[in-house]
Amino acid sequence: GTKRLEELTGLDKTYEGTIRLGAVTPSYDAETEEQDAKPWEHLSADGIGAAVDSFQGTQQQRPP
């Protein structure tokens, strides 16, 4: 795998995920158990759709 790493790093990538509205974990990801739940019922479908749409396209990734 690592011998061909240069060939692979420039390729397009696609990510898929599942969103759990209101869920909070200590690590901010699914690696740790959910510890808290924030209210989310006030969110509209249009607002959620706009937020999801903002993740499309090229993203600069930063470690936490």
- Chain centroid to CA 48: 13
Phi, psi of 37, deg, nearest 5? -135, 125
pLDDT tens sequence across 46-59 = 999 999 999 888 88
pLDDT tens sequence across 12-58 = 888 888 888 999 999 988 899 999 899 999 999 999 999 999 988 88
Contact 22, 39 (CB under 8 A): yes
Residues in a beta bridge with 36: 24
Q: Tell me, yes or no, if the pTM score tops 0.95.
A: no
3-state class (DSSP) for residue 36:
strand
